[in-house]
A and B are shown apart, each in its own frame.
Chain A
Amino acid sequence: MQEKYDYIIIGGGVVGCIIARTLSRYEGRVLLIEKEADLCMGTTAANTAIVHAGYDPLPNTLKARMNVAGNAMWDTLAGELNFAFERRGDFVVAVGEEELPALDTLMLQAKKNGVPGCVILPGPEVRRREKNITPDVSGALWASTGGICDPFAVTVAAAENAVMNGAEVKLNTEFKEFIMEGDRIIGIKTNRGDFLSRWVINAAGLFSDFVMHQAGVRPEFKIRPRKGEYFVFDRADVEIDNVLFPVPSDKGKGILVTTTVHGNTILGPNAEIIDDKENSSTTISGMEEIWAGANKLIPSLTKKHVIATFAGLRPMGNAPCKTPGVNYNADYIIEIPEEVRGFVNLGGIESPGLASSPAIAKEVVDLLKDAGEEMKVKKDYDPIRPARPRFREMSQKDRKLLVDMDPRYGRVICRCENVTEGEIIAEIHAPIPAITYDAIKRRTWLGTGRCQGGFDTPRVVEILARELGVSPLKITKRGEGSEFLFRPTKKVEN
C-alpha cells in the first residue's frame, strides 16, 4: 500500500523547508524528501547567510519582487521559529571616485523595487561606522533592512515546525521519476519506494532542472552551478561587525567582507560557473580571488587568522523574466505549468533565495489557491517552534541553572565553541534527528572553531554511536560513504 499525500516537496533546502512549514499550516498531508542524510546539504549549506534588502535584483523581475516581499517577512519568521536573525543593515562600499555612480544606480533600483530605508553615505561617515575600511572609500549605499541569519538554523527550525504540525520529512530519499496518470502527476518514485500525492512541488535547487524535465516541463531550462568560495576567521582575532558589499559587477554582487550571527567574519564569494553539481571544492585561484576582493574593502586582513574555508554552489537558471520589456534571463521560476497537472515548479532560486524563501512559500500557497485548492487553516496549527538551550550563548548564571536542571549540559564536548553533551543529545533526538557529525555541527556549531573538530570529533562519534545504538564504525560525517573509522585495531593476543 503506497502512502498518499496531498503535497510532496522535493528538496530539503531553505526553500523546500519553508514551503513545508507554510503548507503544514493548512489541512492536508505534507511530505518533504531530501536525498542527502541531512537537510540543507546543497545551496543552503554554503552561502553568505545574508537576508538581502532587495536593491540588487533588476526591477520588475520575479527575483526583485520575491526579495523585497521576503525580506519584510523575516522578523515574524525569526520570532515564530526562534532562530538568530539580526537586521543590522548592509553597506555597498564604493572605492575611489569612479565607483560612486554605481551607488546612484543601486539607489534608483532600490526605489523602483520598493526597498525602504536606503541612503547614500559620504566616505567619512562610512569610515566612522567601520574603522577598518579602506581609506580610499568614497561612499556607500546603506540599506537598513539588510539582515544576517544562520541558514542551517532557519532551515532546521522551519522543518521542525512543519513536523510539529503534522508534516513528514524523509532523509536519504532521492527522487527518481514521476508517476503519471495522463497529464496528471499522481506521485513520485524514489530510492525508498513510491509515494502518491495530489501535488508535487519542485524545490530541488541545483537539481530543479532534472526534476522539471522529468515532468516534461521547460526542456530548455538548465541550471548552471555558480561556485562561490569563502574564508572564515577566528572571531577572537578578527572583528568586522558590518556587512560590506563591493559595488556589483557583471559577475554578481561581488566579494563581501561580512559577519555572521555566530560572530565570525567571513570573506567571499567569488563566482565561477562550473559543470559538476557536486564539485564544492575550494581552489587556489578562487582563494586568491577572494583575498584580493576582500582586501580592496578591508586592507588590514591577514590570512593568519583563517580557521576555515568552504565553497558552495548557487543554482543559476536561464529562465527569461516574464515582465514585458525586461531583458533578463536568470529569473526565478515559480509557477504551476500548463503542460502537466499537480505540479508546482520552482527553478533558478539562487541568491537572494534565502531572503526570498518566505515570500516564495507564500507565492506557492497563492498559486495553489488559484488552482482551486481551498487551503483551509488547521485548527491546531502552532506557528511557534521553541528554541533549545545554547550553552555558549548563555550567561554564567543561566548556565548554572541549566546544569542544575540537567547535568548533561555541564559536560563540554567542543571547547572552542562551548557545546555540551546535553545539546548534542537533544539534537540527536530532535524532531529532525541529527544523525551525522555534520548535522550536529550545523545545529550546535560544534567543531566550527579554531581547532576545527580536532578535539570533539572522537567524542561526538562516541556519543552518536551510544545514542543511536550502533557501532562507532557506522558513524558518518555526512551520510553513507563518509564513515570516520574503518575497523578496530588489532586484537592483543593473550
Chain B
Amino acid sequence: MLKKDTYDVVIIGSGPGGLAAAVAAKKAGAEDVLVIERDMELGGILLQCIHNGFGTEIFKEDLPGPSYAQRYIDESIELGVETLLDTIVLEVTPGRKLFVSSKQHGFFEINARALVLAMGCRERTRAMIQIPGMRPAGVYTAGTAQRFVNIEGKMPGEKVVILGSGDIGMIMARRLTFEGAKVERVLEILPFLSGLNRNYVQCLQDFDIPLLFKHTVKFIHGKNRVEAVETVAVDDKWNFIPGSEEIIPCDTLLLSVGLIPENELSRQAGVELDPLTGGPYVDESRQTNVPGIFAAGNVVHVYDLADWVTLAGYEAGKGAAKFAMALRASEEAHIPVLAGNNVHHVVPQTINKRSLEDEEIELQFRVRTPVEDRVMIEVHDGKNQIARKSARYARPGEMNTITLKPKNFADVEKASSITVDVNPR
C-alpha cells in the first residue's frame, strides 16, 4: 500500500516517457515520486519490443526494448521512486486528484502536486480504416500480435498478410517468420514507407517478404477465422484500380496502420488537445493548459524512436518537479489560525508565514461570551506567546482584531499553527 495520499509528482504510465519523467523528477528535487502502471511490470510496451534498435541516440548502444527499459527501471528504484503495478487510473480531476483501482491495493484516491501524463498511444483499428468484409477471429493489430508472441509465447497465425508498413508491422513480419509462420506480403496504401527504412531492410528485404506500395485490403473473407483477404491496387487518390484484385489465402491479417495518442484521462482533466497531433498542447517544460499537469512521449505526439520519448520524459519530469516543489513550499508556508479560549472564529483561517516578512496581518475574530472586565488578547503557537494586546471588554456583538507585525516573523516562522485566546486579566 502507499505511504502517502499526496505525492509531489505522480506519473501515469511506465513506458520510456514515464520512467524518464520519474528519474528526472527525482533528480530535480521532488521528494515523493510515484509511477502508476496498469500492467504487471514496469516498462510499458518496451517489454514486448524484444528486437533491437533502442538506445542508439542516448547510450550510443543498440539495445533490445526490455534492456533499454531496465536501465531506467534500475535508476528509478535506486532513486527511491515508488511504483504501483497492475493498477489503473480511472479518472483525473483538473485539481490533480486521481481515482485509482487495483486488485491488490483496492480502490483509492491520490493527490498529485504535479502530474505527468505518459499513457503512450494506441493502435488504429480495422474499424478506423473501415475494411469491409466479415468479422472473424484472426484480424489483429500488430501490437496485439506482438504481445501474444513475445509475452504470452503463443502464435496468433500461420499464414499472414500485413496491412501497413508501420514499424511494428515490419518487425512482426520478421518475428513471425522466425517463429515459422509464412508472411505472404506487406501492403502499404501510400507510395512510400510509413516506418523506418532500417526496418524495411532488416525485417522485410532480408527475409524476402514482398512489400507492395499503393495496395490495400478490399475485403476480409471467413466466418469464424480469416480464410483469405482480397487485395487491390489503388491510384494516387486511393481509388481501387479495377482488375487488380487478388485473393490471398491466409489465416491472419495484421494491421500496422498508425498510432493515436491515448488521451482519455487527459480530456477528463480538462487538458486541451491539438487536433493536429491528437495530443495535448504543451509548453517547453511539457506543461499542458492545466497548471501542474504535464505530458510527455507518445501521449503528446507519436515518435519514431523510444530515445526521443525518453528525452521528452526528462523535460516533463523536470517541469513537474519544479511545479511540485513550488507548490509544496507554498503549502508549508501556510499555517492554520485557530480559535482558542473564548474565541468563536478567526479570519483569515490560514496565513502565509512569508507574508509577515514585509507586511502586517490583521486577525479578525469574535468572542463566544461577553466579558465586561478588561481582557488580554493573546496570539501563541501553543507554547510561546507571539503577540498580545489588552481591551476594556469583549462582546460577541462586536468584532475584535489583533495585528501581527513583521517583528513577529521570527516567532511565527517556527510555528506550525497559531491560536488566538481571549483571557481575563
* A and B physically associate: yes
Contact of A478 among B122, B137, B179 (CB under 8 A): B137
Binds A, one of B217-225, B301-309, B355-363, B417-425: B217-225
CB of B180 within 8 Å of the partner chain? yes
In the assembled complex, which residues on chain A have CB atoms less than 8 Å from the CB atom of B127?
Answer: 232, 306-309, 452
* B residues in contact with A128, CB < 8 Å: none
Q: How far is the CA of A455 from the CA of B133 in the complex (A)?
A: 23
**Smallest CB-CB separation from A491: which chain B residue?**
B153
By a CB distance below 8 angstroms, the chain B residues around A396 are: 90-91, 99, 107
- From the candidates A407, A451, A484, A487, name the one contacting B123 in the complex (CB within 8 A): A451
Residue of B nearest to A282 (CB): B132
> A452-B125, A457-B144 are contacts. A309–B130 as well, Cβ < 8 Å?
yes
CB of A236 within 8 A of chain B?
yes
Q: Which residue in B123, B130, B225, B264 is a CB contact (below 8 Å) of A236?
A: B264
Chain B contacts with A in 151-199, Cβ cutoff 8 A? 151-158, 178-180
Contact A410–B103 (Cβ < 8 Å): yes
A14-22, A109-117, A397-405 - interface stretch: A397-405
Could you mark each residue 65-106 of chain B with 1 if its beta carbon is under 8 Å from any beta carbon of chain A, else 0?
Answer: 000000000000000000000101011000000010111111
Please tell me if A283 contacts chain B, counting CB pairs below 8 Å: yes
With A486-B157, A489-B155 in contact, do A481 and B225 touch (Cβ < 8 Å)? Answer: yes
In the assembled complex, the CB of B389 is this many whole angstroms from the nearest CB of chain A, namely: 48
Q: Does B128 contact A (CB under 8 A)?
A: yes
Q: Is the CB of B137 within 8 A of A451?
A: no
Note all chain A residues with C-beta closer than 8 A to B122. 450-451, 454-455
Smallest CB gap from B251: residue in A: A486
> In the complex, which residues 106-140 of chain B have their Cβ closer than 8 Å to any Cβ of chain A?
106-108, 122-123, 125-128, 130, 132-137, 140
User: How distant is the Cα of A282 from the Cα of B220 in the complex, in angstroms?
Assistant: 9
Smallest distance from the beta carbon of B414 to chain A beta carbons, Å?
40
Residues of A within 8 A of B133 (CB): 281-282
From 197 to 253 in chain A, residues with beta carbon under 8 angstroms from any chain B beta carbon are 232, 236
Tell whether B38 is near chain A: CB-to-CB under 8 Å.
Answer: yes
Residue of A nearest to B263 (CB): A236
A482 lies within 8 A of chain B by Cβ: yes
Residue on B with the closest CB to A397?
Answer: B107
Chain B residues near A402 (CB, 8 Å)?
Answer: 107
Tell me if B267 counts as interface (CB < 8 A to partner A). Answer: yes
B126 near A416 (CB under 8 angstroms)?
Answer: no
Which of these, B101, B128, B180, B264, contacts A410 with CB under 8 Å? B101
How far does the Cβ of A392 sit from chain B's closest Cβ, in whole Å? 9
Q: Which residues of B contact A472 (CB under 8 A)?
A: 152, 154
Q: Does chain B have a CB within 8 A of A284? A: yes
Interface string of A376-401 (1 = CB under 8 A from B): 00000000000000000000100110
* Interface residues contributed by chain B, number (CB under 8 Å): 54
Tell me whether B44 is interfacial, beta carbon within 8 Å. Answer: no
Bound CA span A476–B223, Å:
13
Partner of B126 from A403, A452, A478, A482 at Cβ < 8 Å: A452
Contact flag A281-B134 (CB < 8 Å), given A404-B107, A458-B147:
yes
A residues near B220, Cβ cutoff 8 Å: 281
Instruction: Give chain A interface residues in 471-494, CB to chain B under 8 Å.
Output: 472-473, 476-490
Q: Assess whether A451 is in contact with B264, with CB atoms less than 8 Å apart.
A: no
Please determine whether B128 and A281 come into contact, CB atoms closer than 8 angstroms.
no
A-side contacts of B264, CB under 8 Å: 236, 416
Asked if A170 lies at the interface with its beta carbon under 8 angstroms from chain B, I say no
Question: Would you call A484 and B156 a contact (CB within 8 A)?
Answer: yes
Q: Which residue of B lies closest to A473 (CB)?
A: B154
Contact partner of B156 (CB less than 8 A), chosen from A281, A283, A287, A486, is: A486
Bound together, the chains give a CA A303 to CA B152 distance in angstroms of 35
State whether A412 touches B152 (Cβ < 8 A): no
Q: How many Å lie between the Cα of A283 and that of B219 in the bound state?
A: 8
Which one of A278, A287, A484 contacts B137 once the chains associate, using CB atoms below 8 Å?
A484
Interchain CA distance A454-B144 in the complex, whole Å: 6
Complex: how many Å from CA A306 to CA B132? Answer: 14
The answer to whether A307 and B128 have CB atoms under 8 Å apart is: yes
Interface membership of B143, Cβ < 8 A: yes
Q: Are A412 and B38 in contact (CB under 8 A)?
A: yes
State the Cβ distance, A453 to closest chain B Cβ, in Å. 8
Contact of B135 among A310, A400, A412, A450 (CB under 8 A): A310
Docked-complex contact A306 and B128, CB < 8 angstroms: yes
Q: Is the CB of B224 within 8 A of A477?
A: yes
B224 adjacent to A399 (CB under 8 Å): no
Q: Give complex CA distance A246, B364 in Å.
A: 68
| B259: min CB distance to chain A, Å | 11
Bound Cα distance from A473 to B137, whole angstroms:
13
- For A451, the chain B residues whose CB sits under 8 A away are 122-123, 125
CA distance A472 to B155 in the complex (A): 11
A462 CB within 8 Å of chain B: yes
A408 touches B103 (CB 8 A): yes
- Please name the residue on chain B nearest to A490 by beta carbon: B179
B41 to chain A, nearest CB (A): 14
> Judging by beta carbons under 8 Å apart, are A454 and B123 in contact?
yes
Cβ of A411 under 8 Å from chain B: yes
Interface check A161, CB cutoff 8 A: no
Say which residue of B128, B152, B224 sits within 8 Å of A482 (CB atoms): B224
Contact status A489-B101, CB under 8 Å = no
Given contacts A280-B134, A282-B132, contact A482 B154 (CB under 8 A): no
Q: Among the listed A411, A418, A476, A481, which residue makes an inter-chain contact with B103, where contact means beta carbons less than 8 Å apart?
A: A411
B238 within 8 A of A: no
In the complex, A94 Cα to B413 Cα: how many Å? 73
**A427 contacts the other chain (Cβ, under 8 Å)?**
no
Contacts of B152 in A (CB 8 A): 458, 461-462, 472, 485
A481 to B90, CA, bound (A): 36
Asked if B335 lies at the interface with its beta carbon under 8 angstroms from chain A, I say no
B136 touches A236 (CB 8 A): no
Q: Across the two chains, which residue of chain A brings its CB closest to B252?
A: A486
Q: List 18 A-B contacts (CB under 8 A).
A: A236-B267, A281-B133, A284-B132, A287-B130, A396-B99, A402-B107, A410-B106, A411-B101, A415-B88, A450-B125, A452-B125, A454-B143, A457-B140, A462-B152, A482-B137, A482-B225, A486-B158, A487-B155
| 17 new A-B contacts at CB < 8 Å, known A283-B132, A458-B152, A482-B224 | A232-B127, A279-B134, A281-B220, A307-B128, A396-B91, A399-B107, A407-B106, A411-B88, A412-B90, A412-B101, A415-B38, A451-B122, A452-B127, A461-B152, A462-B152, A483-B137, A485-B148
> 3 tightest CB-CB pairs across the interface, nearest first?
A477-B137, A481-B224, A411-B103
